[in-house]
Amino acid sequence: MTRALPRTTFHSSTLIRCLADLALADAAESGNAFAERLGEWMHFTDAITLSAVHGAAPENLPAVPQRPQAAARAVDEFNRLQTLLANGIAKSFSTPPGKAYLTLPTPPVELPGDLGAAYLPYRRFFEAHQRDMELSIQPLRTNVRAMAAQASPGLKKLAELDATMEKILRERERALLAKVPVWLRSRFEQRVREHRTKLGETGEADDPAAWTRPGGWLARFCGEMQMLLLAELELRLQTTLGLIEALQQDTP
């Protein structure tokens, strides 16, 4: 028995809300960059290609009695990959480090003077997770698209539309998501400044071992970084989820 999938919400992204909550980017501006600027991203030739796919008459396909099985298989593949990636993110943040492909950078032994250099390992850690998500989700989207294309004439047209949209938007989406670890540097620097201010106000001796304990400045920053990665995972999976929903609704 397969798990129920969440509904897609393309109009509102958890990632955008998280960026706004952390004061890394204004929610409206981020939303425009990812959604409303869609039309601005499309060049004239892209629009022609998209229009041709949308206007093409679907071919007649033979009946597919295995359509319900295809929908169930797509749900299973989606759930498996979503769980795998989410668990991989969680494990990479565990302290002490668990058996994970990616692990957090070793904490500094003293408050960094060069905040840019101190943040760089965390940026690379975040970017490594982004690459892992992209490489893992792409085959899933391709497989689900192939299932949809074999299900019915309407879903074949939808699959062609999705393939065209992916071709048009892939590089733009990649460039936008690449900004997240860049923006995150300001949060890292803010956490360091807050910690320094607290030490100055209380006169307490600094304890680097406490930085990664609950409530420590570095633990709080890493929690925010994990939240952003999970939100990005949700965003990256939305298009595939939309295809699966269409496949389920089309099932007789």
Which whole-number Å values give the CA distances from 43 to 48, 158, 164, 168, 218, in the listed order? 9, 21, 13, 9, 43
pLDDT at residue 2 in the model: 42
Tell me the pLDDT band of 99, cut-offs 50, 70 and 90: low
DSSP result, 70-86: HHHHHHHHHHHHHHHHH
Mean pLDDT calculated for residue range 29-58: 54
Band (pLDDT 50/70/90 cuts) for residue 132 is: very high
pLDDT for res 1: 37
What phi, psi does 195 have (nearest 5°)? -65, -45
The percent of residues above 70 in pLDDT, for the chain, comes to: 74
Instruction: Give Cβ neighbours of residue 251 (< 8 Å, ≥ 6 apart).
Output: 67, 68, 71, 151
Question: What is the value of pTM for the model shown?
Answer: 0.81
The reported pLDDT for the residue numbered 15 is 74
In 3D space, the residue among 214, 248, 208 whose CA is nearest the CA of residue 76 turns out to be 248
Place of tokens 């969680």: 90
- CA–CA gap between residue 141 and residue 243 (Å, rounded): 8
Q: Lowest-confidence range among 31-40, 60-69, 76-85, 188-197?
A: 31-40
Q: Determine the length of the chain.
A: 252
Q: How confident is the model at residue 90 (pLDDT cuts 50, 70, 90)?
A: very high
Omega cis (within 30) before 96: yes
Looking at residue 103, what is its pLDDT? 87
Confidence band of 41 (pLDDT split at 50, 70, 90): very low
Please compute the mean of the pLDDT values over residues 178-182 and round it to a whole number.
Answer: 91
Share of the chain above pLDDT 90, in %: 42
Q: What is the mean pLDDT of residues 72-76?
A: 92
Q: With a cut of 60, say whether residue 95 has pLDDT above it.
A: yes
Is residue 168 pLDDT above 70, yes or no? yes
Compute CA distances 178 → 24, 73, 129, 149, 206, whole Å: 14, 32, 11, 31, 34
